[in-house]
Amino acid sequence: MNFLFITLFPEFIEQATSFSIIKRAVEQGLLTVSCINPRDFTHDKHKTVDDTPFGGGVGMVLKVEPFAAAIREAKSLLPNAAVVALCPGGNTLNQSIVEKLAESGHDLIFLCGHYEGFDERIFALVDERISIGDYVLTGGELPALVVMDAVARYIPGVLGKEESASEESFSEGLLEYPQYTRPVVFEGMEVPEVLRGGNHALIKEWRRKEALRATYKQRPDLLNKAALNKEDGRLLLDVIIETKGENNG
């Protein structure tokens, strides 16, 4: 899969993808990361990419011409790619969107903004707008990297184990169950006995119940959307009863 960033700061992307899992994936040929700088499509000596907004107001707006030219150049390199703009007005990123992007078969071109945002006309060349949350950042590079990282985990071979991505938090609409490793006891806190007993059926049930518990306590809103079966309902009822007992105690 190919990821191309349209950014005024390509060094930001290059540095962020030069280590850990993404670096290894690039070296193994599982994905590519590249950048196009809209300044390369300007025609003045200052390589100007922004201007004052019509109608007045504070801040500067990104000009449509250099960014449109950059998108068209990116599409010539990746004809099958979807253009994703990172902006506050986009759909809020969630696991469903990540999976849709990963399964689409399309490469991704990320349009990274700055200042007061884009000239509205640039969105005629955009396939999807995505936001990573209701807050303001200084630019679109970090959100674009977040999207890439989340999508890349679904590329076969990137995580090493094919089942890893499907077992992560949110993959089934629930938070992930707690994880433990050695030592068995640390400062009085002990690894649950069921995880040390070797009974895989009991371990599977414990993990499901603890995923339900974590979701119920930390993100109960997710339970309304999760695909729960009859056994999940039984486990969740146990969790609710146990939680109420803890609170009353």
Secondary structure of 108-130 as H, E, C letters: EEEEECECCCECHHHHHHCCEEE
Does 95 share its domain with 51? yes
Interval 231-247 mean pLDDT: 96
CATH of the domain at 62: 3.40.1280.10
- Report the DSSP beta bridge partners of residue 146: none
164 lies in some domain: no
**Angstrom distances, CA of residue 93 to CA of 53, 106, 134, 178, 225:** 29, 18, 11, 24, 15
Do 60 and 123 fall into the same domain? yes
| CB-based contacts of 206, cutoff 8 Å, min separation 6 | 177, 192, 194, 195
| Total of domains in the chain | 2
Q: Please indicate, yes or no, if residue 197 is contained in any of the structural domains.
A: yes
Please tell me the predicted confidence (pLDDT) of residue 163.
52
Is residue 208 included in any domain, yes or no?
yes
pLDDT value at residue 170: 66
From the list 211, 95, 112, 106, the residue with the least C-alpha distance to 153 is 95
Mean pLDDT of 203-231: 95
The pLDDT value recorded for residue 158 is 96
Same domain, 140 and 205: no
**Alpha-carbon distance values, 64 to 8, 99, 118, 160 (Å):** 14, 30, 7, 41
Q: Say whether both 228 and 137 belong to one domain.
A: no
- CA distances in angstroms from 150 to 57, 175, 184, 195, listed in the order given: 36, 16, 32, 29
Average pLDDT over all residues of the chain: 94
Quick check: is 170 in a domain? no
Q: Let me know whether 142 and 38 are in one domain.
A: yes
The enclosing domain of 209 has a CATH number of 1.10.1270.20
pLDDT of residue 160: 81
Please state the rounded mean pLDDT for residues 3-31.
97
Q: Stretch 200-210: mean pLDDT, rounded?
A: 97
**Same domain membership, residue 148 and residue 242:** no
pLDDT of residue 68: 98
Tens digits of residue pLDDT in 26-82: 999 999 999 999 999 999 999 999 999 999 988 999 999 999 999 999 999 999 999
Cα(84)–Cα(90) distance, integer angstroms: 10
Q: Mean of the pLDDT values across residues 124-148? A: 96
- Structure confidence by residue, pLDDT tens digits, 139-193: 999 999 999 999 999 999 999 865 556 556 565 789 999 999 999 999 999 999 9
For residue 160, give the amino acid letter. Answer: G
- Which residue, chain included where needed, has tokens 């970090």? 142
Instruction: Say yes or no: 135 and 204 in one domain.
Output: no
Decide if 80 is inside a domain: yes
Q: pLDDT tens for residues 79-122?
A: 999 999 999 889 999 999 999 999 999 999 999 999 889 999 99
Q: For position 166, what pLDDT does the model report?
A: 57
Is the domain of 138 the same as that of 71?
A: yes
Rounded mean pLDDT, 203-232: 95
Same domain membership, residue 36 and residue 137: yes
CB atoms within 10 A of CB 23: 12
Q: In this structure, is residue 163 part of a structural domain? A: no
The pLDDT, as a whole number, for residue 199 is 97
- The pLDDT assigned to 169 comes to 57
